[in-house]
Amino acid sequence: MRQNELDELRRQVDGLNNQILDLINERTAVVQEIGRVKEKQGVNRYDPVREREMLNALVQSNKGPIPNGVLEQIFKGIFMSALEIQEDEQRNALLVSRKRKPEDTIVNVNGEEVGTGSPTFVFGPCAVESYEQVLAVAQSIKSKGLKMLRGGAYKPRTSPYDFQGLGLEGLKILKRVSDETGLSIVTEIITPSHLEEALDYIDVIQIGARNMQNFELLKEAGMANKPVLLKRGLAATIDEFINAAEYIISKGNSQIMLCERGIRTYERATRNTLDISAVPILKQETHLPVFVDVTHSTGRKDLLLPTAKAAIAVGADGVMAEVHPDPAVALSDAAQQMDIKQFDEFYAELQRFMNTHQTI
Ligand code: PEP
Ligand code: MN
């Protein structure tokens, strides 16, 4: 008899659970509709004042036996989950999102396809210093059968008194070396006003860490007819990084390569902290190719090879590193650039690794 009573009460609870479930789903659908209306009006989805009003009204109508504190907790949970669902929807609707476009984006740099499964390498000096300097590195890159050369003509330096780059003259050097070797040029542009002029000299627009949220530059790059290599900001979250790429794609340019280059943490053993897990996260969340810059992330020559191996093992589409014919006299990043012999060894070792290990 007692057992029957308990079974009946449990049946009632199960029925009520289902009713609550249906109501929560119904409520979520209405909130999603509100979200769509707000989006059209350009209004923020989260409205704490409205949330407070709803909670107050619920407390007013509470006939018990739930205490008001518990009631508030339950409803805050319901409000929060509706908001999270909307945020997920917003994230999935981004043009860079893999939910929106499941297949990988292949970036084409003068016929060199990035993002097809075999890693692309971008090597070159930190800064363009002279024709001879760039040519020496370019020849070494070419001798390895590689296709891309990096080098900064505009250098965004921490101190205004440090070498700022050769500017247009640097671009001309890069172009001359490109014409002579056939290598494609990856170089950083730091302001929208330089972009149009620079396009005649370069093949890939690099947007550096310090400019990841230079939204005007992102928009200009989005209107350009050249691939973009976008580096992660010095202390940017993955979400901010993805949104920076969205700025570019939203203007029509989907030829974007993302580059993890380390972020600022409390750790001082390396120049920055290489966030290696950002690679698979970015590849899951977006359809864009992902590079790892082992030079700026570590700032240490002894870590270039192990981190490059890690990048390849974890599924990166490319690796960037700095090479200088005589790093000791380099005008920027002297401590961390490889010389040509070290570059040869680095690349040979990386090739051996790639031939003997599977990537994920
Ligand atoms: C660079 O690649 O030349 C550079 C300045 O790197 P970052 O923007 O990542 O600091
Ligand atoms: Mn550098």
Rounded CA separation 166/151 (Å) = 11
- 185 near 203, Cβ under 8 Å? yes
Nearest ligand 1 atom to the CA of 127 is 3
**Which ligand is closest to the CA of 230, given by its number?**
1
Task: Give pLDDT, residue 242.
Answer: 98
Alpha-carbon distance values, 6 to 3, 12, 33 (Å): 5, 10, 41
List the chain residues with pLDDT less than 50: none
Task: Give pLDDT, residue 359.
Answer: 66
Q: Note the pTM of the prediction, 2 decimals.
A: 0.88
Tokens of 153: 């003509």
Nearest ligand 1 atom to the CA of 231 is 9
- Whose alpha carbon is nearest atom 4 of ligand 1? 208
Residue type, 121: F
Judge if the beta carbon of residue 128 lies within 6 A of ligand 1: no
Distance of CA 123 from the midpoint of ligand 1 (Å):
12
Judge if the beta carbon of residue 322 lies within 6 A of ligand 1: no
**Which ligand is closest to the CA of 231, given by its number?**
1
Buried b (16+ CB within 10 A) or exposed e, 50-89: eeeeebeeeeeeeeeeeeeeebbeeeeebbeebbeebeee
Task: Give pLDDT, residue 46.
Answer: 79
Rounded CA separation 290/255 (Å) = 12
- 24 near 78, Cβ under 8 Å? yes
Task: Give pLDDT, residue 291.
Answer: 99
CB atoms inside a 10 Å sphere around CB 334 = 13
- 110 near 147, Cβ under 8 Å? yes
**Which ligand is closest to the CA of 187, given by its number?**
1
Residue type, 304: L
Judge if the beta carbon of residue 188 lies within 6 A of ligand 1: yes
Task: Give pLDDT, residue 360.
Answer: 62
Rounded CA separation 101/341 (Å) = 42
Tokens of 302: 């002894």
Domain ranges (residues) in the chain: 2-92, 107-359
Alpha carbon 316 to chain centroid, angstroms: 12
Nearest ligand 1 atom to the CA of 293 is 9
- Whose alpha carbon is nearest atom 10 of ligand 1? 209
Nearest ligand 1 atom to the CA of 262 is 9
Judge if the beta carbon of residue 209 lies within 6 A of ligand 1: yes
Which CATH homologous superfamily contains domain 2-92? Chorismate mutase (1.20.59.10)
CB atoms inside a 10 Å sphere around CB 204 = 23
Rounded CA separation 222/218 (Å) = 6
Task: Give pLDDT, residue 44.
Answer: 79
107-359 topology per CATH: TIM Barrel (3.20.20)
- Burial of 147 from C-beta contacts in 10 A (0-12 / 13-18 / 19+): buried
Mutation probe of ligand 1 site: the residue of 129, 205, 231, 275 with most atoms within 8 A of C-beta: 231
Task: Give pLDDT, residue 241.
Answer: 98
Distance of CA 126 from the midpoint of ligand 2 (Å):
4
- Hey, is 251 helix, strand or coil? coil
- Hey, is 338 helix, strand or coil? strand
Judge if the beta carbon of residue 231 lies within 6 A of ligand 1: yes
Alpha helices (runs of H) in 233-356, residue ranges in sequence order: 238-249, 278-285, 294-298, 304-313, 340-356
Say if 2-92 and 107-359 have the same CATH topology: no
- Whose alpha carbon is nearest atom 9 of ligand 1? 209
